[in-house]
Structure 1
Amino acid sequence: MLPERPQGQRGPLTTLVYKRRGRVGLFFVAALSVLAGMTDAIGFLATGDFVSFMSGNTTRMAVALGDAHWALVARLALLIGAFIAGNALGVIIARLSAKRAWPLLALSAALLLGAGLWGAQAQLPALLGAIIAMGMLNAAVEEVNGLPIGLTYVTGALSRFGRGLGRWLMGERRPGWRVQLVPWSGMFGGAVLGGLLEHRYGLTALMACGGFALALAIVSLLIPRRWLRRYMAK
């Protein structure tokens, strides 16, 4: 991806396109983060395992290792491995589809729908399917107008926001740090919604996540290809 041109080197039309691409990208990020928050909350409440928050699963695995809970160590290692595989698969699909978002979102939707449908009978396979879907999701958007974005984890977003706040308090006026709250807000709101759904439907609520992912796949078709190529994995 070519670096963004400084503001002073853009004409009025280029500046307008730049701003629109940024707004559309951030709305897309917010929606994808809502999906991640929903899925993580449903999976965590239903199984006790995180679906997208691998930092939490890593800490849990380390504690289990210290306590010699080998079955739990093996389970968490499997979940983390599934997340890594999902990320790799997302990049592969993005490359093979010439950086189209809908194929990986459609496959994520299929995995989430299957997880919700079969979760009661096969909890671990359903959980693995949901985790792979969340890993794939990260390839849908990696940056917006040159700003790095995380979809299924928000520690980095909060860190970038905090550092930007510190620089702002010290008098620096670097643009873009406030947008890091977009994925955090989306994930928070999605987690609230996911918690409400899980309390009523259990792991079957993942079907709602699948439906939402399918809707986002359709929405992605409305985003100009040249913009998606800038959002997605390099």
Structure 2
Amino acid sequence: MACGGEGSGMLDSRRDIALACVLSCLAGFVDAIGFIHLGGLFVSFMSGNSTRLGVFIEEGRWHEAAETAGLILLFVIGAGVGNLIVLGLKAHRQAWVLLTEGVLLALAATAFSFGHSQVTVALIVSAMGLENAVFFTGGAGGIGLTYITGALVKVGQLMALALRGGEPFGWLPNLLQWSALVSGSVLGAIAYRLYDLHAIWFGAVAAFALSAAVALTARKEIDSV
């Protein structure tokens, strides 16, 4: 079975498939919060922001264009920092990336408590870029966790292969990843309506819990060898 996002590689274990889907759910949760707060811009879906950037430029809406470009830049920086964490560590790399994501989201929620909403958004976007390093292995590829177009493409491709005699349910993990992101978005929208940007605390707690779970499972795998 395989599960992958846009421009991604493949996941070949149930543990990785489950982790990818949970992280996509977290990304959907955070992105929905950011989308509502920013009035139509994304904190994790940079393809959408890139389209909005082009439209803003054509319309001469330079303030909105600059804001959107800033979000894209912060996302790229976050992704780069995440990869540097992976490249600089030999053990528990996934756990450290998730711990860093949790710290960024916690700082974002704290900044909002002190009235610094722009700092909050900047930290959230950086955290979303960083999350995509969880399955980074040192090459040019990886697994897209905060954007899902590639997973939907793979659903169609793998369904076509299934009809031609390939694995009958090879498309299912990708569909699950898409469903996880949508489910997270629903939860994020509800949380924002109830708690505003304070809802980011839920995302921070989830990232911390995932970091601990990943570290624990990695330790068990090492001990069992």
Which whole-Å CA distance do the structure 2 matches of 1:24 and 1:89 have between them?
25
| 8 A Cα contact 2:103 2:204, kept in partner | yes
**Could you tell me which residue of structure 2 aligns to residue 184 of structure 1?**
178
1:172 Cα deviation from its structure 2 partner = 3.8
Corresponding letter in the other structure for 1:126: T
Percent identity of equivalent pairs: 35
Which whole-Å CA distance do the structure 2 matches of 1:148 and 1:212 have between them?
22
Pair 1:202–1:63, CA change in 2 (3 A): same
Moved over 4 A (4+): 225-228
Equivalent residue runs for 1:22-61 within 5 Å: 22-48=13-39, 49-61=41-53
Aligned residues: CA RMSD: 2.3
Pair 1:61–1:225, CA change in 2 (3 A): farther
Q: Deviations over 1:77-122 (max 9, x none)?
A: 0100111111111110011122521222111111111212222622
How many residue pairs match? The answer is 205
Instruction: State which of 192, 197, 208 in structure 2 corresponds to 1:198.
Output: 192
Unaligned runs of 5+ in 2: 1-11
TM-score, with normalisation over the residues of structure 1?
A: 0.81
**Could you tell me which residue of structure 1 aligns to residue 109 of structure 2?**
116
TM-score, with normalisation over the residues of structure 2?
A: 0.84
Unaligned runs of 5+ in 1: 1-20, 229-234
| 8 A Cα contact 1:149 1:157, kept in partner | no
Which whole-Å CA distance do the structure 2 matches of 1:178 and 1:149 have between them?
16
**Could you tell me which residue of structure 2 aligns to residue 166 of structure 1?**
160
Equivalent residue runs for 1:133-152 within 5 Å: 133-142=127-136, 149-152=143-146
**Could you tell me which residue of structure 2 aligns to residue 92 of structure 1?**
84
1:148 Cα deviation from its structure 2 partner = 6.5
| 8 A Cα contact 1:29 1:182, kept in partner | no
Tell which structure's C-alpha radius of gyration is larger.
1
